[in-house]
Structure 1
Amino acid sequence: MNQAEKILLEEWAELMAKEDARALADMHPENFVRDALGYELQWFHKEWLEFQTLNRQSLILAPRGHGKSTICTISYPLWRLLGDPALRILIVSNTSDQACSFLREIRSQLESNPWMLARFGNLAGRPWSESQLNLCLRHSASKEANLTAMGVLGPVIARHYDMIILDDVVDEQNSASQAQRQKLEQWYYKTLLPCLEPAGEIHIVGTRYHHLDLYGRLLAGEYKNHHRIYRALRELDGAEAALWEQKFSLELLKEKRKEAGTVIFNSQYQNEVELMKGVIFKPEWIQYYSSPPLRLEKMLGIDLAISRKDSADYFALVVAGRERKSNKIFILDAVHDRLSFSRQVETALNFFRKYNSPDSPVLRVCVEANAYQEAFAQKLREAGLPVKSVTRVKDKVSRAYQLQAKFENLEILFPPHSCQDLLQELLLFPQAEHDDLFDAMEIIVSQFGTLHLSGYLKAEADVSPG
């Protein structure tokens, strides 16, 4: 083949690619995702594609693991770009690595998808990197690539885009405190939005983390009439049903709800954050530690049912330790269950033995003073445990408000992957279905205030925390 024939063949291939691009622009996105990408679409995936296609701005809140990134962040912009190779698309996620992972998936499709290779051939232009992709079909000069990936809070000054995709830009870290939420909102409105062309598109997909997160503001404002919310568990014919039964069955979702607790499950799988508002204990006051200090002054707090016949209440036990230097309290363990009297005694003994050590002793086992619990306390005393019977003279809400300052001052810390039932009681208090773990924790915190800073106990007379 001589040089003239080679040039002619390249021009013909380019013309055919342009014809395929024009044909693709007329191709329904569902057909593209199914036939070209090979994805099996659920009914809600089809709704997402239609919602993005028909709206210049869209907000889709969907449960974790239900394919929102595959459909909305990878498939949709790829379909749009192949139909219009002049587009400048920005993909933003909570981290740069996550955004680049979306771009890698798009790049993989462009480089190795047989359907695309048969119609377009080699589409790689320059740049063709981890964070930027240009198609060779593009002929207009622009400093922005066809596809750019960037982490949230990244610099985009003096750049302009025809489409912006935001995928999970809200996460646990940037939604936890008011300062972090304001930082994200300021970047969104002052830095990101000015980069969108006046006739451009912006599509947001994510999952709720906090009732005051960026999604909450958008729902109440400019996306009030431009959003769709999907829940992993929905009501169907008066009963709970899974949104995607083949992947997340009803049984699996119920198990996840049990493991995570209602508050976290509702946020991550239901996109419901009303339970996170907290009447007394705010979510941003909940602090976590990676590992507790080695030397702690420890206590066990125990709350029993009012009577042996009270089947509505649980036996609850909380273990906590105070670090003398910082005066911070570390919640170490929490358990509640419906147990017989003998099993309750056995459980208390086991937890005492587990957490008591010469360098980090259990100084008190705190039990509320009443007739039924006194019999329990006596059993523990006979076993040699340092039991303290504590008299309470205030109602639960008043005692909760006494704890509020310690939470607000971030003086109480929790383990990262346990004690979910206790956290749920705190965040829902006083509307929680149960509050026995709260009672067990509160009795410990109040008792730490009766210890000398030296760590030695005051006189063992019964005390009333007021």
Structure 2
Amino acid sequence: METKEIVKEALKTRRGRKAYARRSLAHFTYIYLGHYIKYDTPDFHLEIYKDLGRTDIDFLELLAFRGSAKSTIASLALALWSAVTDRKNFIIILSDTFAQAKMHIQNIIYELENNELLIRDFGPFKLKEEWTSTNIILAVGVRILSRSRGQRIRGLRHKQYRPDLIVGDDLENNELVRTKEQRDKTSEWWNGEVIPAIDTDKGMVVLIGSLLHSDSLMARQKALILKEGIGVLKEYPIMREDGEILWHQRYTKEDIEKLRIRVGTRYFQREYLLKLVPEDGQVIKKVHYYQKLPKIKAISIGVDLAISQKETADYTAINVIGKGEDNNFYNLRNIAGRWNFNTTLTKVNDTYKDYRGAHAGIPLYLGIEDVAYQHSAIEEYHRRFGIKPKAVKVSKDKRARLEAIEPYFVSEQVFFREEGDEDVVTEILNFGIEAHDDRMDAFEISLSQLLDMAQPNIRLL
């Protein structure tokens, strides 16, 4: 068994240092990047080092508090270790902005050009080829590339190698995650460009950051890991629920309290405790989901019309909700699209027929928002299908309408599907921020009908 004395002696020689450095990321960091280590190493750092060095996983998501040194470990130490020890051939570091992407490479270049011990043991590193602010090739043939969010990744190769290490470091910002369109765009880039780029045989993707939004990329990937078991998730708040301070070598309880006061409770909860917090002015702060549907005794269909196929137009949304025998409300369906007049009426009627057929004998309500030109759609639906929808007059004050149903959320009487209601839940939780709220409007119409206990629609003979 190795003693501290044996290790200490071994580290005095080039051969000994290289042997220990190759053995683990932690050893490499202590030996060559000790100038970054200002405090005693916490246990969670050792766990991160170990996970980043694993060869049996291909995806690792690290949620860690601001100031936890996660970027130093993953974007600097891991990249350098993987490159100089020949563990990887093509490394890509991804950032939110181009400026951040350049900074990551600059930090790596600085160590490769100025870290005397690293150069002495593993160098020289530079070939005749010029290094740029986003692209370097080491003498051993390893390429390190940096890219910002949204840039092309898929299809990139370095000689015969596809990327075998990709580190996504704080890819989102507060402004970016405010709208669903931007969140979807980031996810589409991640799933369409980043994931397909990795070497499927020996590649590893590392995603680090914090939860800026319940529907952010970090949140979506976390949900995917928890649900499908694809990858490894590790979370490191500055302090656990039981009061345990993860980096007690650096932070005392007094330090943490001062930090909370300095940055504010909202920011502290999100960036340091890794807790999602509602935005100021958020009406509905939490939703609940059901696992098993009880017997339904009444069903309501709400329709928010926006008859246009233009990409900039609002969506037509249809929501179906049922009232259970327990008097709680269970969302059953939520669909939306940019449909023309005829398609819209057909979609509404198909939905009506589906639930009329599946739930014969119970009240079924159909309400369509009655605003301006939409009234003609209500009349035409009645003429075509012999079913007279309720023309729903709604207030223009959407916040007031949402506030009217908010008590039912607080009292846990409204439940959603875990799959299929993601978009309407997002619109409800982020009302006032999202670019569209059509699904929410349709939901509010359908729920309000059940709350009002409107009369069932009458089919004409």
| Shorter-normalised TM range | 0.5 to 0.7
1:68 corresponds to which residue?
70
SS of the residue aligned with 1:92? Answer: strand
Q: Is the 8 A contact 1:103 1:130 kept in 2?
A: yes
Q: Is the 8 A contact 2:22 2:28 kept in 1?
A: no
1:233 corresponds to which residue?
239
Provide, for residues 302-360 of structure 1, a one-character-per-residue CA deviation record: whole Å limited to 9, x for no partner: xxxxxxxxxxxxxxxxxxxxxxxxxxxxxxxxxxxxxxxxxxxxxxxxxxxxxxxxxxx
Provide, for residues 162-219 of structure 1, a one-character-per-residue CA deviation record: whole Å limited to 9, x for no partner: 1100000122122111111001001000112111111211011111101111111111
Q: Is the 8 A contact 2:42 2:248 kept in 1?
A: no
TM-score (ref. length: structure 2): 0.53
Q: Is the 8 A contact 1:207 1:271 kept in 2?
A: yes
Q: CA deviation at 1:279?
A: 6.3
- Distance in 2 of aligned mates of 1:195 and 1:106: 22
Equivalent AA in structure 2 for residue 269 of structure 1: Y
In structure 2, relative to structure 1, the CA distance for the partners of 1:69 and 1:132 (3 Å cut) is: same
Q: Is the 8 A contact 1:60 1:227 kept in 2?
A: yes
SS of the residue aligned with 1:129? Answer: coil
In structure 2, relative to structure 1, the CA distance for the partners of 1:202 and 1:127 (3 Å cut) is: farther
User: How many residue pairs are counted as aligned between the two chains?
Assistant: 273
Provide, for residues 99-156 of structure 1, a one-character-per-residue CA deviation record: whole Å limited to 9, x for no partner: 2211111111111112112123321132412101111122xxxxxx610011111122
Q: Is the 8 A contact 1:85 1:137 kept in 2?
A: no
1:26-425 alignment to 2 at 5 Å? 26-38=22-34, 39-40=36-37, 41-54=41-54, 55-84=57-86, 87-125=89-127, 126-138=129-141, 146-159=143-156, 160-199=162-201, 200-222=203-225, 225=229, 226-236=232-242, 240-273=243-276, 275=278, 280=283, 398=404, 408=431
> Which segment is superposed worse, 116-125 or 182-191?
116-125
Stretches of structure 1 lacking an aligned partner (at least 5 in a row): 1-16, 139-144, 284-393, 412-466
> Which segment is superposed worse, 74-83 or 250-259?
250-259
Q: Is the 8 A contact 2:88 2:165 kept in 1?
A: no
- Distance in 2 of aligned mates of 1:168 and 1:409: 25
RMSD, aligned CA: 3.5
Q: Is the 8 A contact 1:25 1:80 kept in 2?
A: no
Q: Is the 8 A contact 1:74 1:106 kept in 2?
A: yes
Q: Is the 8 A contact 1:61 1:208 kept in 2?
A: yes
> Which segment is superposed worse, 72-81 or 59-68?
72-81
In structure 2, relative to structure 1, the CA distance for the partners of 1:249 and 1:157 (3 Å cut) is: same
Q: CA deviation at 1:234?
A: 1.9
Equivalent AA in structure 2 for residue 34 of structure 1: Y
Look at both structures and tell me which one has the larger radius of gyration over its CA atoms.
1
Q: CA deviation at 1:281?
A: 5.5
Q: Is the 8 A contact 1:20 1:120 kept in 2?
A: no
TM-score (ref. length: structure 1): 0.52
In structure 2, relative to structure 1, the CA distance for the partners of 1:85 and 1:221 (3 Å cut) is: closer
1:303 corresponds to which residue?
none
Q: Is the 8 A contact 1:36 1:116 kept in 2?
A: yes
SS of the residue aligned with 1:228? Answer: strand
Identity over the aligned pairs, expressed in percent? 24
- Distance in 1 of aligned mates of 2:17 and 2:249: 35
